[in-house]
């Protein structure tokens, strides 16, 4: 094992879990065992919740302008530790170093936004009649839980940590059990920045811990990011226990390409969108809808995809099971009559024979009913569906149950607006393949990609992490 056994982090201390259940942490880059993570039980969660409740009594009373000071220092620590953190993410997640570094840069941007909270959350006051004022005040919700997926070990936790904590909440983070190491490093940096004990806690575990979080009476709000099936379970279970819940799910993102699109720019965008982070992004292009004669663009997309080399500028997928599942989808489409233009199956990287690599794969002649057209594959695979006109393209996009992202590539302003207006997705790009909103704009999809009201980042997250107190004061007799 390269690293010591992972622990939990409760009340400012790295503590072992009360459990015999553990899981090996395997680097998908080469199959080596990095560490072992405890799969905590209810007693560990009880301990973390009780410490978070105690910490809440003080932290919630600290003025917001004072709370952000911790995060100004934390942002500088992220900058200082960027290389070490990026390397750890690369090892445990399998993405490239540059992709891991981009995650830390995004984590910094998210922290910077949280530092602007004093400017964002001023209440309102109005003298509603002589000597009588009404006022509002933004108050934290309490102890909140953040349950996160494997694909962004730093960025997704930073969707929730800085905003929730700056707004006065205390938190239990439940990292993905397959990438638990980066979160523990983040805890150390928050501590170094001066965050008081108990404000941020980590409990490692799997499904049973998530269920315990949904049921725990001491947890007031639950945010979840992961697959749609689990998002549904978490939303239903935590809501049934009267918690505030926001659950972000999976995706199947469509890029609609018109024949007048700038060919080279479009091809570069499409190839980067479907292959970045080995296709394991909830914003990745999964289906390209080619409207009319897009032959010249499809040729360029394939040429771009062939420049993406596993083990060089393409990382691994997360596990052997993921690799097998992705390759099954490709083979299934081939058997159903689709044409494999670029084939990423059976890739072996020299010197990393035990790593889990899938090369970029482009599948043409896909029809809307095929599993590669409808299901989330979560690998570097692009299905091309050919249609005659934009309304047919929109019908295919609208029929998919997810609604995270969509994009249109064209040089016509009118067509771009028509498609962007009518795509059924929460985040829409025009000539941008990965339309992730930047702060202060909020991140969140529609349809089966999100359950709950509002978004998880940016301005919209303020409503999720706070509740309003309304005051009505007579100041004079």
Question: Interface with ligand NAD by CB under 6 A: which residues?
Answer: 147-151, 156, 174, 176-177, 206-207, 210, 225-227, 230, 233, 248-251, 282, 376, 378, 404, 445, 449
d(CA 25, CA 29): 12
C-beta separation of 94 from 439 below 8 A: no
C-beta of 207 vs 438, nearer to ligand NAD: 207
The residue among 148 and 222 lying less far from ligand NAD, judged by its C-beta, is 148
Q: Which is nearer to ligand NAD, 68 or 456 (CB)?
A: 456
Chain centroid, CA 216 distance in Å: 24
Q: Cβ neighbours of residue 401 under 8 Å, at least 6 residues apart?
A: 252, 447, 448
Residue 277 or 297: the one with the smaller Cβ distance to ligand NAD is 277
Nearest approach, Cβ of residue 73 and ligand NAD (Å): 28
The DSSP line for 191-233 is HHTTPPTTSEEE----HHHHHHHHH-TT--EEEEES-HHHHHH
Distances from the Cα of 375 to the Cα of 109, 362, 372, 470, angstroms:
32, 16, 6, 46
Which residues lie across from 387 on neighbouring strands? 291
* Residues paired with residue 174 on neighbouring β-strands, in sequence order: 147
Q: To the nearest whole angstrom, how small is the minimum distance from the Cβ of residue 426 to ligand NAD?
A: 9
With beta carbons less than 8 A apart as the criterion, state whether 169 and 67 touch: no
Sign of CA dihedral 107, 459, 122, 146: negative
Nearest to 160 by CA among 471, 442, 474, 435: 442
Buried b (16+ CB within 10 A) or exposed e, 251-261: bbbbbbbbeeb
SS3 469: strand
Q: At its nearest, how many Å lie between ligand NAD and the CB of residue 45?
A: 13
Name which of 236 and 309 has its Cβ closer to ligand NAD: 236
Contacts of 437 (CB under 8 A, 6+ apart): 427, 443, 457, 458
In terms of CB distance, is 40 or 404 closer to ligand NAD?
404
DSSP 303-332: HHHHT--BTTTB---S-HHHHHHHHHHHHH
Burial 217-237 (b: 16+ CB within 10 A, else e): ebbbbbbbbbbbebbebbbeb
- Please identify, using beta-carbon distances, which residue of 70 and 282 lies nearer to ligand NAD: 282
Taking the complex as a whole, how short is the minimal distance between the CB of residue 92 and ligand NAD, in angstroms?
A: 13
The two structure tokens encoding residue 151 = 């694909």
CA–CA gap between residue 304 and residue 297 (Å, rounded):
10
Q: How far is the CB of 50 from ligand NAD (least distance, A)?
A: 22
Catalytic residue among 115, 282, 294, 302: 282
In Å, what is the CA distance from 51 to each residue of 170, 175, 468? 9, 18, 25
Give the residue at shortest CB distance from ligand NAD: 226
Sheet holding 405-409, edge to edge: 339-342, 361-364, 381-387, 285-291, 253-257, 405-409, 427-430
* C-beta of 205 vs 311, nearer to ligand NAD: 205
**Of 7 and 410, which has the nearer Cβ to ligand NAD?**
7
Contact 31, 198 (CB under 8 A): no
Closest separation between CB of residue 232 and ligand NAD, Å? 10
Active site annotation includes 122: no
The DSSP H or E segment spanning 139 is strand 132-140
Integer angstrom CA distances of residue 277 from 92, 106, 316: 13, 14, 8
Q: How far is the CB of 77 from ligand NAD (least distance, A)?
A: 24
Residues catalogued as catalytic: 282
């Amino acid at each position: 094992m390269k690293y010591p056994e992972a622990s939990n982090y409760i009340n400012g201390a790295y503590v072992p879990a009360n459990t015999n259940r553990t899981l090996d942490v395997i680097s998908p880059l080469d199959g080596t065992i990095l560490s072992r993570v405890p799969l905590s039980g209810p007693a560990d969660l009880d301990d973390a919740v009780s410490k978070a409740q105690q910490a809440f009594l003080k932290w919630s009373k600290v003025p917001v302008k004072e709370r952000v000071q911790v995060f100004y220092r934390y942002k500088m620590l992220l900058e200082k530790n960027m290389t070490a953190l990026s390397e750890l993410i690369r090892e445990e997640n399998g993405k490239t170093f540059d992709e891991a570094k981009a995650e830390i840069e995004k984590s910094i941007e998210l922290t910077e936004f949280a530092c602007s909270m004093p400017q964002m959350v001023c209440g309102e006051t109005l003298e509603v009649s002589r000597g009588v004022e009404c006022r509002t005040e933004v108050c934290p919700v309490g102890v909140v839980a953040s349950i996160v997926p494997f694909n962004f070990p730093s960025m997704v936790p930073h969707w929730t940590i800085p905003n929730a904590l700056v707004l006065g909440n205390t938190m239990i983070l439940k990292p993905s059990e397959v990438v638990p190491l980066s979160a523990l490093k983040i805890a150390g940096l928050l501590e170094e920045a001066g965050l008081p004990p108990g404000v941020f806690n980590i409990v490692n575990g799997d499904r049973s811990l998530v269920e315990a979080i949904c049921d725990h009476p001491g947890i007031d709000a639950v945010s979840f990011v992961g697959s749609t099936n689990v998002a549904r379970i978490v939303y239903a279970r935590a809501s049934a226990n009267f918690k505030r819940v926001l659950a972000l799910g999976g995706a199947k993102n469509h890029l609609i390409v018109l024949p007048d699109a700038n060919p080279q720019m479009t091809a570069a965008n499409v190839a980067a969108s479907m292959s970045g982070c080995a296709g394991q992004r909830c914003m990745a292009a999964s289906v390209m809808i080619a409207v009319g004669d897009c032959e010249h663009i499809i040729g360029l997309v394939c040429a771009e995809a062939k420049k993406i080399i596993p083990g060089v500028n393409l990382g691994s997928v997360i596990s052997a099971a993921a690799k097998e599942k992705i390759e099954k989808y490709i083979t299934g489409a081939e058997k159903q009559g689709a044409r494999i233009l670029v084939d990423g199956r059976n890739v072996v990287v020299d010197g990393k024979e035990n790593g889990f690599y899938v090369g970029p794969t482009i599948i043409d002649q896909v029809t809307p009913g095929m599993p590669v057209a409808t299901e989330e594959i979560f690998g570097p695979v692009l299905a091309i569906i050919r249609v005659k006109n934009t309304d047919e393209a929109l019908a295919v996009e609208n029929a998919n149950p997810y609604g995270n992202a969509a994009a249109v590539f064209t040089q016509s302003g009118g067509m771009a607006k028509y498609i962007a207006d009518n795509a059924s997705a929460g985040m829409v790009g025009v000539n941008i393949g990965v339309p992730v909103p930047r702060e202060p704009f909020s991140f969140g999809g529609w349809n089966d990609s999100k359950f709950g009201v509002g978004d998880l980042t940016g301005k919209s997250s303020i409503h999720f992490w706070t509740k309003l107190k309304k005051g009505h004061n007579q100041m004079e007799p």
